[in-house]
């Protein structure tokens, strides 16, 4: 009797501890978010200039922090989702790596595209006063942040670049009419709706196809892996070296194109020399199984995800702080004339910290959606997604094409999934590993003609990509620009009526 009473009391204590833990977690997120906004408010107050428009800097800093949180919650999942879905990284490990690399990329190499987001979308001779321009940018920031927030709640990865571009266009039209918008740049950005996912999907599918036919479909997979895995890792190192040389250090120095190519070739050659003995050591005694071969891609996949996060922080921090930088410049100079927009360190710090905190607090849901719910991932497929995303971004940058990193990454995941689906439904398999069904008598496979028909239909209907996520994500992509534009126009009208 006494033992039963003690057990009941212990269970009550356990339930109380669990309830306390759940409550503390539920309070931690809003508490940390509020603390971040307080820090942003204080930081902006230290650097605000005296004058009638000083309030705008503080308000815009808070809105810019909200935008950075939204970007971290939504966009970073594209880089870390495949690594988490393939089990190469735990969710906690992915969040830590991404937070560090995103902040480092934003602080060390961010701001290269600030002028495009903040001023190039609007004609420099547009008839906008300083007050109108400030409210325009504030409305654009708030509208894009709100739309990304809604998309994150719905579990849809959207392009934050498209969100801020649509918001700037919508608020500009509300402020002065359609003629103030540079529609040539808008047309180039809109073209990326089709270019980004299609090219990313094609690259990823081609890369996965190469891995399958050169390694996984070979009778001796281990020997094939020793031959080709160092080549694939060397390709990754060369591509990322070229990317960092051409895009990642623009704030520090400008690297000529011949040097970019030379650095890429040098890193690729060095990576190949170093990776060959590493792959040989890792493959000693390895079984001739796909799961064993996939482990060779786990560590390179982690490095690829980290480098993608660094590159994302360097590029997409401008989506959060570009309009804020334009507002700071306008308040300081009292002019909306387009030109080089300086990026103060404190503004960049808000974007970097906001992206990392948004990822840590709100990113896990989207990471799971991208990494697990579209199609099944393993280290090989995830590596193909990461490498194809880097190759596509570098290729598009070299051609001057505006592309969305979100669309590229998600398109690469769909490309990998559809290739697997096509090969599976066509019965393409490793000739060295035949399925067990081939060794069974036909009578044991199909007891009746109806069974044979049913089994055939089942094979034909096999789907390895979840169509409902495809439809939902594409729908979110299509309406991002018009939705953020409409919301920004409404916010500009309301904010203008209150402030002007």
pTM score over 0.85: no
Q: Which of 424, 496, 409 is nearest to 460 (CA)?
A: 424
**Domain membership flag for residue 457:** no
**Whole-number Å distance between alpha carbons of 119 and 145:** 19
| pLDDT attached to residue 451 | 58
pLDDT in tens, 337-351: 545 566 778 888 888
Instruction: Return the SS3 of 76.
Output: coil
Contacts of 160 (CB under 8 A, 6+ apart): 70, 71, 74, 75, 144, 148, 316, 319, 406
**Domain membership flag for residue 56:** yes
**Domain membership flag for residue 460:** no
Q: Is residue 479 exposed (0-12), middle (13-18) or buried (19+ Cβ within 10 Å)?
A: middle
Instruction: Return the SS3 of 169.
Output: helix
**Domain membership flag for residue 471:** yes
**Domain membership flag for residue 454:** no
| pLDDT attached to residue 67 | 92
**The total number of structural domains that make up the chain:** 1
**Whole-number Å distance between alpha carbons of 350 and 66:** 10
Instruction: Return the SS3 of 181.
Output: strand
- Which portions of the chain are predicted below pLDDT 70? 1-27, 49-51, 109-121, 123-127, 247-253, 334-342, 397-402, 427-462, 500
Quick one: the chain helix, strand, coil %, rounded to 5? 80, 0, 20
**Domain membership flag for residue 456:** no
Enclosing domain of residue 57: 34-433+465-499
| pLDDT attached to residue 312 | 78
| pLDDT attached to residue 440 | 41
C-alpha distances (whole Å) from 240 to each of 100, 266, 267, 369 are 18, 12, 9, 26
| pLDDT attached to residue 435 | 43
| pLDDT attached to residue 208 | 93
Biggest CA pair distance of the chain: 88
| pLDDT attached to residue 462 | 65
> Which phi and psi angles does 122 have, rounded to 5°?
-115, 135
**Domain membership flag for residue 20:** no
| pLDDT attached to residue 441 | 42
pLDDT in tens, 105-120: 777 766 554 555 555 6
**Domain membership flag for residue 441:** no
- Give the residue carrying structure tokens 């930088």: 325
SS (H, E, C) 93-113: HHHHHHHHHHHHHHHHHCCCC
| pLDDT attached to residue 490 | 94
């Amino acid at each position: 009797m006494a033992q039963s009473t003690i057990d009941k009391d212990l269970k009550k204590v356990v339930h109380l501890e669990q309830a306390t833990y759940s409550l503390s977690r539920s309070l931690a997120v809003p508490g940390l978010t509020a603390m971040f906004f307080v820090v942003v408010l204080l930081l902006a107050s230290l650097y605000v200039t005296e004058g009638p428009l000083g309030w705008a800097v503080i308000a815009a800093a808070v809105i810019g922090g909200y935008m950075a949180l939204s970007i971290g919650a939504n966009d970073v999942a594209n880089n870390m989702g495949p690594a988490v879905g393939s089990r190469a990284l735990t969710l906690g490990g992915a969040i830590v790596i991404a937070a560090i690399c995103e902040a480092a990329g934003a602080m060390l190499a961010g701001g290269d595209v600030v002028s495009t987001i903040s001023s190039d979308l609007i004609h420099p001779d547009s008839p906008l006063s300083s007050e109108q321009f400030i409210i325009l940018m504030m409305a654009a920031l708030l509208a894009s942040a709100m739309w990304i927030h809604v998309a994150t709640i719905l579990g849809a990865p959207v392009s934050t670049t498209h969100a801020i571009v649509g918001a700037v266009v919508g608020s500009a039209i509300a402020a002065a009419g359609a003629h103030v918008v540079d529609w040539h740049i808008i047309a180039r950005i809109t073209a990326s709706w089709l270019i980004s996912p299609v090219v990313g999907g094609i690259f990823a599918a081609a890369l996965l196809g190469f891995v399958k036919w050169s390694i996984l479909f070979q009778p001796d997979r281990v020997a094939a892996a020793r031959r080709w895995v160092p080549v694939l890792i060397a390709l990754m190192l060369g591509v990322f070296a070229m990317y960092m040389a051409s895009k990642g250090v623009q704030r520090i120095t400008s690297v000529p194109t011949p040097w970019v190519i030379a650095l890429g070739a040098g890193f690729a050659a060095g990576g190949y020399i170093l990776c060959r003995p590493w792959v040989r050591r890792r493959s000693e005694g390895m079984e001739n199984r796909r799961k064993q071969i996939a482990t060779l891609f786990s560590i390179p996949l982690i490095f690829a995800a980290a480098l993608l996060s660094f590159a994302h922080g360097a590029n997409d921090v401008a989506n959060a702080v570009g309009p804020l930088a334009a507002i700071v410049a306008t308040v300081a100079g009292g002019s909306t004339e387009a030109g080089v927009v300086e990026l103060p360190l404190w503004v960049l710090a808000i974007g970097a910290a906001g992206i990392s905190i948004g990822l840590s607090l709100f990113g896990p849901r989207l990471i799971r959606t991208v990494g697990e719910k579209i199609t099944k991932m393993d280290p090989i497929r995830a590596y193909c997604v990461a490498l194809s995303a880097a190759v596509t971004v570098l290729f598009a940058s070299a051609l001057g094409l505006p592309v969305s990193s979100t669309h590229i990454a998600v398109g690469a995941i769909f490309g990998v999934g559809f290739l697997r689906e096509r090969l599976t439904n066509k019965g393409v398999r490793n000739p060295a590993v035949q399925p067990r069904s081939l060794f069974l008598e036909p009578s044991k496979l199909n007891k009746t003609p109806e069974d044979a028909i049913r089994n055939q239909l089942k094979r034909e209907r096999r789907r390895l990509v979840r169509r409902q996520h495809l439809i939902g994500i594409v729908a979110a992509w299509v309406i991002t620009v018009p939705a953020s534009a409409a919301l920004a126009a409404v916010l500009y009208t309301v904010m203008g009526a209150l402030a002007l």
